Chain A
């Protein structure tokens, strides 16, 4: 059974270092926005209505066939560190983690499905998987949607589809996103071209934890911005046939170019990263992510031996503030966190060689 106590010590489902194309494409995610016909949207729901929504949805969610072993977390009873940990694992959004009013999240035992209750919409059904598995995520989220819909009336109109609090989610309510690791495009200065191309295709491009975290570890989340006028399959097909192949091709080409034309530059970055991470005694999360990004590149290019991709992926998670504190079993001040972070990473990297 999944608990908030067991969670930090287990690897994160979508960071397993498995899954197709995962040298560049870390994870795939699909989310569906749904609202109950019987209640106002969140901005006009009273606290009593919010509680009623959560009670209704929680009891439905706990009866899903995906429910055995699940965890349901009511945000109001939950400590800051636990809320942040759920965010670091991409199981909830920043908005859900904010401490106001009745809201919660349902998480399956395998952490592959999470359903947020009372976020911007009454329901946000999310499925996440390592590597390129958009279709698989859609099937999982769609299945939960079908099961919930059998006993609930969702707000829907023939013309506008699923009705959402913000009309930018109307229609399918479907947001597809992939998390990609683009260090070579960054190093070769081509990242801005990719950002522009994404904008031209009406895609949103954000950092590891959404808006404003662009620079963190060369990770980018790319997602569709339009949800109305195309079917779910058309949106997914655009990702699988156009968006993903273009990004993979651009990053692969940049990596090949770097290795061919500037192997010293790339080995220098990787070597410095290994040096700092193996010997530093104090590390901020930002610095750790910066170097882990090059280490990950080194492993995927086969320029480092003795390290598994899974180990590095896991460090991306452990290096983060809430995970660190959970594993150490309590709140730590910033200076102690830096020391503990450096110690964790040093232990895990003791076998890496250039």
Chain B
């Protein structure tokens, strides 16, 4: 079987089931690498399954872009640097394999935990992050003079801040 992109022998085969439709993708090593899929061979079974469940085509992977900072998967692969913490969610599947390779199989943190996280529970950082995002939306709403939306956001932020402690 040959690669869907360049006709070289395909070594990476992906079957994707999305919305009842089945799509197949066959790639050679090089094209798979360019699509951020090469490390799948070294990735855990879980990660491979995860990639299938999320069901993105190669083009979708290539065009993945963080809505917050504008980072693309290609840009990350060129520079080795991410643009914001949300990139860790946006590129979670591709990064999982990349990280396992770079970290010699290490894939979860076992070291120091910030005191604030210990005191305020596991969702602390995520809640803080959500509040920050809403604050950005709030200042956007104010500058757009959308005061109804701004008032809603302000009340939500207040409630969340009380909860976050």
Contact check, A156 vs B81: say whether CB atoms are below 8 A apart.
Answer: no
Q: Which residues of A contact B (CB under 8 A)?
A: 35, 37-38, 40-44, 120, 142, 145-146, 149-150, 153-163, 165-168, 170-172, 174, 202, 225-232, 234
Q: In the complex, A107 Cα to B161 Cα: how many Å?
A: 35
Q: Does B105 contact A (CB under 8 A)?
A: yes
Q: Which of A42, A142, A159, A168 contacts B80 (CB 8 A)?
A: A168
CB closest residue in chain A, given B79: A43
Q: In the complex, A145 Cα to B104 Cα: how many Å?
A: 26
Residues of B within 8 A of A163 (CB): 85, 88
Q: Does B110 contact A (CB under 8 A)?
A: yes
Contact check, A160 vs B132: say whether CB atoms are below 8 A apart.
Answer: no
Residues of A within 8 A of B84 (CB): 40-41, 44
Q: Does B128 contact A (CB under 8 A)?
A: yes
- Given known pairs A44-B69, A166-B81, A167-B98, the reply for A231 and B110 (CB within 8 Å) is yes
Q: Which of A120, A157, A231 contacts B81 (CB 8 A)?
A: A120
Distance to closest chain A CB from B47 (angstroms): 13
Distance to closest chain A CB from B88 (angstroms): 6
Q: Does B27 contact A (CB under 8 A)?
A: no
Residues of B within 8 A of A37 (CB): 85, 125, 128-129, 132
Q: Which of B55-94 touch A at CB < 8 Å?
A: 68-71, 79-85, 88
Q: Which of B83, B113, B117 contacts A44 (CB 8 A)?
A: B83
Contact check, A146 vs B104: say whether CB atoms are below 8 A apart.
Answer: no
Q: Which of B14-61 touch A at CB < 8 Å?
A: none
Distance to closest chain A CB from B118 (angstroms): 11
Q: Does B95 contact A (CB under 8 A)?
A: yes
14 A–B contacts, CB within 8 A, in A order: A40-B84, A41-B81, A44-B70, A44-B84, A120-B81, A146-B115, A149-B116, A153-B128, A159-B109, A167-B103, A225-B104, A226-B106, A229-B104, A229-B109
CB closest residue in chain B, given A233: B111
Q: In the complex, A183 Cα to B128 Cα: how many Å?
A: 52
Distance to closest chain B CB from A333 (angstroms): 37
Q: In the complex, A160 Cα to B107 Cα: how many Å?
A: 7
Q: In the complex, A352 Cα to B67 Cα: how many Å?
A: 66
Distance to closest chain B CB from A70 (angstroms): 24
Knowing that A170-B99, A226-B104 are A-B contacts, what are 15 other residue pairs whose CB atoms are under 8 Å apart, sorted by A's residue number? A35-B85, A38-B132, A41-B83, A43-B83, A44-B69, A142-B112, A156-B117, A157-B88, A166-B80, A167-B103, A171-B103, A226-B103, A229-B103, A229-B107, A229-B109
Of A41, A160, A202, most buried by chain B (CB within 10 Å of CB) is A160
- Given known pairs A163-B88, A227-B103, the reply for A40 and B113 (CB within 8 Å) is no
CB closest residue in chain A, given B107: A229
CB closest residue in chain B, given A161: B109
Residues of A within 8 A of B115 (CB): 146, 149-150
CB closest residue in chain B, given A35: B85
Distance to closest chain B CB from A176 (angstroms): 13
Contact check, A228 vs B107: say whether CB atoms are below 8 A apart.
Answer: yes
Contact check, A149 vs B122: say whether CB atoms are below 8 A apart.
Answer: no
Contact check, B82 vs A167: say whether CB atoms are below 8 A apart.
Answer: yes
CB closest residue in chain B, given A168: B102
Contact check, B69 vs A171: say whether CB atoms are below 8 A apart.
Answer: no
Residues of B within 8 A of A142 (CB): 112
